[in-house]
Amino acid sequence: MTFTFQKHWLPQLDHIARRAGEAIMQIYRGDIHVQRKADESPVTQADVLAEEIILEGLAALAPEIPVVAEEAVAAGRVPDVSKARSFWLVDPLDGTREFVNRNGEFTVNIAFIEDGEPVAGVVFAPAIGRAFCGWVGEGASVHDAAGERSIRCRPAPPRGLTVLASRSHGDKAALAAFLADLPVHTTMEAGSSLKLCLLAEGRADLYPRFGRTMEWDIAAGQAVLAAAGGSVRTMSGAALRYGKPGFENPDFVARGLPG
């Protein structure tokens, strides 16, 4: 069957992400127990609990649509989406290292993939109380203590680019080489998919990523960024596709508006 994103789903996704965020924060305020998955990446009880909440919410929202979720995949529960026109991508706690280090830069991510592209998504940062929502063609918004408002990427400023780098991952030498001939004004470090959202709200201009990422790491953030006018491309300039075997991404560049 063919499914397209429905307008009334976006506020419901926001609600699901916030419920997962509440569960995460309960654990964040107490003792955090870290385990290691097969790939040596960290996982906590918050990852597992948040994913359970999200999967329950998506099953109630649209039970026919398959869900690719990080912890389920790690446990061997991998739906076949190779021929699916649409599916959900879920990272229940992106930035687990940030969560463990208690720096607040972690997010709940839910994205809707259609024809290999993220067309809608919600990124919720529970520790800082910021929710980003985007639907490509319909715009992006942020909801925080100041209220809800539309967001849009900015053109690259004449003074030079604000470049984002991963706080916990990435290849610093490759990043330095990539930036060598660009007019960089400043570089900021940030964790999780918040980097894509900073581009979307016009607080930064460029995020080159060298090193391993998975589709669920960036899908929701890419949807928000694309809805705000930005883009995510491979280093060769091709569109980043979703539903790949293994769900692993190549190196990519995320951008705001051209200068």
Q: What percent of the chain has pLDDT over 70?
A: 97
pTM: 0.95
> SS3 sequence, 22-85?
HHHHHHHCCCCCEEECCCCCEEEHHHHHHHHHHHHHHHHHCCCCCEEEHHHHHCCCCCCCCCCC
Q: What percent of the chain has pLDDT over 90?
A: 80
Structure confidence at residue 233 (pLDDT) = 97
Burial class, 162, CB count within 10 angstroms (exposed 0-12 / middle 13-18 / buried 19+): buried
Residues annotated in the binding site for Mg(2+), as ranges? 70, 91, 93-94, 217
Structure confidence at residue 124 (pLDDT) = 98
Q: Is 16 helix (H, G, I), strand (E, B) or coil?
A: helix
pLDDT digits (tens, 9 = 90+) for 131-145: 999 999 999 999 999
Alpha helices by DSSP H, listed for 146-243, are 172-179, 194-200, 215-227
Rounded distance between C-alpha atoms, residue 196 and residue 222, angstroms: 7
Residue 7's contacts (CB-CB under 8 Å, 6 or more residues apart) are: 135, 138
Residues annotated in the binding site for substrate, as ranges? 70, 93-96, 217
pLDDT digits (tens, 9 = 90+) for 128-181: 999 999 999 999 999 999 999 999 999 999 999 999 998 766 678 899 999 999
For residue 200 the two structure tokens come to 């979307």
Categorise residue 76: left if φ over 0, alpha if ψ from -120 to 50, beta otherwise.
Answer: left
User: Is 1 a residue whose pLDDT tops 70?
Assistant: no
Mean pLDDT of 106-116: 97
- The dotted CATH code for 161-255 is 3.40.190.80
Structure confidence at residue 30 (pLDDT) = 86
Mean pLDDT of 237-258: 95
pLDDT digits (tens, 9 = 90+) for 38-74: 776 778 899 999 999 999 999 999 999 999 999 999 9
Structure confidence at residue 168 (pLDDT) = 66
CA atoms within a 13 Å half-sphere pointing along the CA-CB vector of 150: 8
Q: How confident is the model at residue 96 (pLDDT cuts 50, 70, 90)?
A: confident
- CA-nearest of 20, 26, 256, 39 to 169 is 39
CB atoms within 10 A of CB 241: 14
Q: How confident is the model at residue 37 (pLDDT cuts 50, 70, 90)?
A: confident
Structure confidence at residue 89 (pLDDT) = 98
CA atoms within a 13 Å half-sphere pointing along the CA-CB vector of 123: 34
Residues annotated in the binding site, as ranges? 70, 91, 93-96, 217
For residue 123 the two structure tokens come to 């990124």
User: Is 75 a residue whose pLDDT tops 80?
Assistant: yes
Mean pLDDT of 207-225: 96
Q: Domain extents for the chain? A: 9-151, 161-255
Rounded distance between C-alpha atoms, residue 63 and residue 150, angstroms: 30
Mean pLDDT of 244-249: 96
**Is domain 9-151 annotated with CATH 3.30.540.10?**
yes
| Residues constituting the chain | 259
